[in-house]
Chains A and B, each alone.
Chain A
Amino acid sequence: MTDHNDRFSEKITASSHGVESASENRDGRSEKDAAILPDRRSFLAGVTALFGMLAVSSCSWEEFAQKHFREMTKEELDTTIDRLKTQYKAKYGKDFVVDTEGPIDGTLYGYALDIQRCIGCRRCVYACVEENNQSRDPQIQYIRVLRHKDARMDLEEATIYYDPEEVPEKGYYYMPVQCQHCANAPCTKVCPVQATWTEPDGIVVVDYNWCIGCRYCMAACPYMGRWFNFAEPVIPAEEVNPKTHYLGNRPRMRNVVEKCTFCIQRVRKGLYPACVEVCPVGARKFGNLLDPDSEIRRIMATKRVFRLKEELNTQPKFYYFFAT
């Protein structure tokens, strides 16, 4: 595995964000300083009159004044990531990695799901929760597994709350739905502050520190692919995944929107998303749409595929297919 990691780190440094993954010492500011710098020292004492709300949302001045991810210079990004690491360490007691790796050149991610194989066991749902640090309470689960009656694909007749002893059940089939990473994404279009956008490799991401929490994107998404942290997310410290990406699974704060990122922290290192890895029936397929020899392209070439709600012209990069 080591050699393959090296291979990817080459790609990563050449990536378009031009941001190396966070290294420790820079700008003459040692790690020690960063640790000592109290997160809350510079509370908004002076401007409380103006932004009293900041005090109650317990957010530091640095966090308040932080720029949009795509507008930060390398130095600003480094400082931000140091701050995040300190913050996460204090909260979860673990040393976090917060990557900022950009897209790999020549990739456009696509996903395929074999609805004939899927047995509705929800292993993907929970693997996703663990990998992506989703709040356990209130519960956030990026993947909803719909159970359809045989010979029907009527969403209003489907349910996600089925709970039998064993799956698959006779007379039903299953269709997991998550963010479809639309090429013509209705959600990014509506965001009033560009806090969500499509990366060059096709992943629709959110800058959790830029989102103002208006939830317009949730109203715009036809797939319920977006989730809102209505309360402070709760993740047991022992379960938290410290390998994170800035635009992906780093712990979120209250009152911002989050979503599936195809496990950006994994796929930009060349790994399969967590849901693909866990699927016991191999119904989940992932790959590079620009590579004619990728699994996803082979599926598109040889199988009958369809996209959910294609009539809306959202152009998802998430394909459902029938393998047999």
Chain B
Amino acid sequence: MESPGFISRVIKKLLVGPAVYYVWVLFLLCVIGVGIGAYTRQLQHGLIVTGMTSYVSWGFYIGNFTFLVGVAAAAVLLIIPAYLYDFGPIKEIVIVGEALAVSALIMCMLFVTADLGRPDRIWHLLPGLGILNLPSSLLGWDIVVLNGYLFLNLFIPGYLLYYAYNMQEPNWRFIGVFILLSIPWAVSIHTVTAFIYNGLVARPFWNASILAPRFLASAFCSGPALIILVYQLVRKYTRFHVTDEALFKITEFIAVAMALNLFLLGAEFYKELYSNTHHLSPFKYLYLGLHGKGNLVPWIWTASVLNVVAFIIFLIPATRKNFATLNLGCVLIILGIWIEKGIGLILPGFIPSPLGEVWEYVPTTIEVLVAAGIWGTGLLVFTVLMKVIIPIETGDLTKRSAAAA
């Protein structure tokens, strides 16, 4: 398909770079190596090396998975203005968002795999070979939508980059269908992920219909915040051009999403506090501690403060358009949502247990190392994608430059 020499040129591109690039990749490879080591240990001994128990049967892995689905879904916030409204400044840079989505999706799948007790039986999920329990299992649906989204986010940029490389105008009518499809699909990956938890009557903390909207709202905070930081790095280290206008547009989205997130959280708080049923117990555990146990209390209050401060930063135009405070806000929001949507969402679902017991969960070193390895893998994938995509986008890597070389 590609013109001969494309692969070798890409490989050459990947092998050449500034010193900081080598250091970065080497660092990631080390982290990944440690992660693989930790995961091997987990495979050897079973999930007993994690902090998970019969009481808290999902933990750090699923928390990170949930957060990353949000990051992946956030690409839609770029796709809508870029392709639907033809907003120039974002259209130029949307491809980076899609690459971020791809990396996030790969991390999602790795996190779910790491959480599986029997990864050797993962083929049981493949329709045809195994049995994918559709339509009743939301985990089944999640596998479908995540893979579908991964395909879309590989196919759309791949198609556009192919034409960019060959210096031809892409068939917008053809690819437009996929672009349009990717918008509801992005919403669906996050909705379905929310539904995984949402549908469980056993877990009142999750069994609230506000969960899916809250998921989307918080996803549209953390994902774009990450994208803003990434764009600044990209434009610092490459010739890729990102306008301030595009970044500020994204911050506006974040401000709205954060407002919605806080509003929905408030609505949930009101309902639980005023009705004051036993469904309040997980909230008590999360925010105050229950039966003398409250590992999550400092975390969730930190997250709450981070989110509110970040919201104020994004709300005020002066701080929103100042890169120092903007970046601070982005970091705060990413950390805040990571806590709130990760462990802050997963663990209280299990505490207290459906039979009323309160047993806490703390991730083990192995879990943290495996998670670090997965994050490293995601970042490496993203780095590699950037290394390929950006020269094509900037016109450094095209058919013509190949001919010239």
Q: Verify A189–B137 contact, CB threshold 8 A.
A: yes
- A contact residues around B115 at 8 Å (CB): 214-215
Q: How far is the CA of A311 from the CA of B130 in the complex (A)?
A: 35
Flag the segment in B159-167, B346-354, B371-379, B381-389 that touches A: B346-354
Q: Verify B120–A256 contact, CB threshold 8 A.
A: no
Q: A211-B118, A212-B118, A215-B117 are in contact. Are A192 and B58 (CB under 8 A)?
A: no
Q: Verify B356–A155 contact, CB threshold 8 A.
A: yes
- Tell me if A122 counts as interface (CB < 8 A to partner B): no
- A contact residues around B112 at 8 Å (CB): 214
- Tell me if B234 counts as interface (CB < 8 A to partner A): no
A273-324 interface with B by 8 A CB criterion: 312-314
Q: How far is the CA of A228 from the CA of B120 in the complex (A)?
A: 17
- Tell me if B57 counts as interface (CB < 8 A to partner A): yes
- Tell me if B30 counts as interface (CB < 8 A to partner A): no
- Chain A: interface residue total (CB-CB under 8 A): 54
- Tell me if B10 counts as interface (CB < 8 A to partner A): no
Q: Verify B202–A186 contact, CB threshold 8 A.
A: yes
- Tell me if B276 counts as interface (CB < 8 A to partner A): no
- B contact residues around A51 at 8 Å (CB): 120
Flag the segment in A54-62, A87-95, A96-104 that touches B: A54-62
- Tell me if A221 counts as interface (CB < 8 A to partner B): yes
- In this complex, which of B122, B137, B139 has the most chain A Cβ atoms within 10 angstroms of its Cβ? B137
> What would 24 A/B residue contacts be, using CB atoms closer than 8 Å?
A51-B120, A57-B43, A64-B121, A156-B356, A186-B202, A190-B200, A192-B125, A192-B139, A192-B143, A193-B124, A194-B131, A194-B133, A213-B117, A218-B57, A219-B58, A219-B200, A219-B349, A222-B202, A224-B354, A224-B355, A229-B46, A230-B52, A230-B53, A255-B46
- Tell me if A115 counts as interface (CB < 8 A to partner B): no
- B contact residues around A156 at 8 Å (CB): 278, 281, 352, 356
- A contact residues around B137 at 8 Å (CB): 189-192, 216
- Tell me if A126 counts as interface (CB < 8 A to partner B): no
Q: A158-B355, A223-B355 are in contact. Are A192 and B133 (CB under 8 A)?
A: yes
Q: Verify A64–B120 contact, CB threshold 8 A.
A: yes
Q: How far is the CA of A194 from the CA of B136 in the complex (A)?
A: 10
Q: How far is the CA of A222 from the CA of B121 in the complex (A)?
A: 27
- Tell me if B132 counts as interface (CB < 8 A to partner A): yes
Q: How far is the CA of A234 from the CA of B80 in the complex (A)?
A: 55
Q: A192-B133, A231-B45 are in contact. Are A214 and B139 (CB under 8 A)?
A: yes
Q: How far is the CA of A319 from the CA of B132 in the complex (A)?
A: 33
- Tell me if A177 counts as interface (CB < 8 A to partner B): yes
Q: How far is the CA of A222 from the CA of B131 in the complex (A)?
A: 25
- Tell me if A169 counts as interface (CB < 8 A to partner B): no
- Tell me if A144 counts as interface (CB < 8 A to partner B): yes
Closest 9 A/B residue pairs (Cβ) = A213-B117, A255-B117, A155-B356, A222-B202, A156-B356, A231-B48, A230-B48, A192-B139, A213-B118
Q: Verify B57–A57 contact, CB threshold 8 A.
A: no
- In this complex, which of A51, A144, A214, A229 has the most chain B Cβ atoms within 10 angstroms of its Cβ? A214
- Tell me if A106 counts as interface (CB < 8 A to partner B): no
Q: How far is the CA of A182 from the CA of B153 in the complex (A)?
A: 41
Q: A158-B355, A192-B139, A224-B354 are in contact. Are A219 and B57 (CB under 8 A)?
A: yes
Q: How far is the CA of A221 from the CA of B354 in the complex (A)?
A: 8
Q: What per-residue 1/0 map shows which CB atoms of A192-216 lie under 8 Å from chain B? A: 1111000000000000001111111
- Tell me if A160 counts as interface (CB < 8 A to partner B): yes
- Tell me if A136 counts as interface (CB < 8 A to partner B): no
Q: Choose from A71, A138, A212, A222 the contact partner of B116 (Cβ within 8 Å).
A: A212
- Tell me if A157 counts as interface (CB < 8 A to partner B): yes
Nearest-Cβ distance from residue A216 to partner chain B, whole angstroms? 5
Q: Verify B46–A231 contact, CB threshold 8 A.
A: yes
Interface residues of A: mostly helix, strand, loop or mixed? loop
A52-78 interface with B by 8 A CB criterion: 53-54, 56-57, 59, 64, 68, 71
- A contact residues around B50 at 8 Å (CB): 230
Q: Choose from A191, A227, A229, A232 the contact partner of B133 (Cβ within 8 Å).
A: A191
Q: How far is the CA of A312 from the CA of B203 in the complex (A)?
A: 11
Q: How far is the CA of A121 from the CA of B55 in the complex (A)?
A: 23
- Tell me if A40 counts as interface (CB < 8 A to partner B): no
Q: Verify B201–A312 contact, CB threshold 8 A.
A: yes
Q: Verify B132–A192 contact, CB threshold 8 A.
A: yes
Nearest-Cβ distance from residue A81 to partner chain B, whole angstroms? 19
Q: Verify A256–B118 contact, CB threshold 8 A.
A: yes
Q: How far is the CA of A232 from the CA of B44 in the complex (A)?
A: 10
Q: How far is the CA of A9 from the CA of B311 in the complex (A)?
A: 70
| Beyond A53-B119, A57-B120, 19 extra complex contacts between A and B, CB < 8 Å | A51-B120, A144-B355, A156-B281, A160-B355, A186-B200, A186-B202, A190-B136, A192-B139, A192-B143, A193-B121, A193-B131, A193-B132, A212-B116, A212-B122, A213-B118, A222-B201, A222-B202, A222-B354, A230-B50
- Tell me if B357 counts as interface (CB < 8 A to partner A): yes
Q: Verify A254–B119 contact, CB threshold 8 A.
A: no
Q: How far is the CA of A229 from the CA of B43 in the complex (A)?
A: 13
Q: How far is the CA of A59 from the CA of B125 in the complex (A)?
A: 19
Q: Verify A213–B116 contact, CB threshold 8 A.
A: yes
In the complex, residue of chain A having the shortest beta-carbon distance to the beta carbon of B281:
A156
- Tell me if B260 counts as interface (CB < 8 A to partner A): no
Q: What per-residue 1/0 map shows which CB atoms of B39-74 lie under 8 Å from chain A? A: 010011111101011110110000000000000000
Q: How far is the CA of A213 from the CA of B199 in the complex (A)?
A: 20
- Tell me if A146 counts as interface (CB < 8 A to partner B): yes
- Tell me if B138 counts as interface (CB < 8 A to partner A): yes
- Tell me if A165 counts as interface (CB < 8 A to partner B): no
In the complex, residue of chain B having the shortest beta-carbon distance to the beta carbon of A184:
B201
Q: Verify B139–A232 contact, CB threshold 8 A.
A: no
- B contact residues around A177 at 8 Å (CB): 355
Q: What per-residue 1/0 map shows which CB atoms of A164-194 lie under 8 Å from chain B? A: 0000000000000100000000100111111
Nearest-Cβ distance from residue A211 to partner chain B, whole angstroms? 7
Nearest-Cβ distance from residue A255 to partner chain B, whole angstroms? 3
- A contact residues around B130 at 8 Å (CB): 68, 193
Q: Verify A228–B118 contact, CB threshold 8 A.
A: no
B192-250 interface with A by 8 A CB criterion: 196-197, 199-203
In the complex, residue of chain A having the shortest beta-carbon distance to the beta carbon of B352:
A156
- A contact residues around B47 at 8 Å (CB): 213, 228, 230-231, 255
Q: Verify B355–A314 contact, CB threshold 8 A.
A: no
Nearest-Cβ distance from residue B89 to partner chain A, whole angstroms? 41
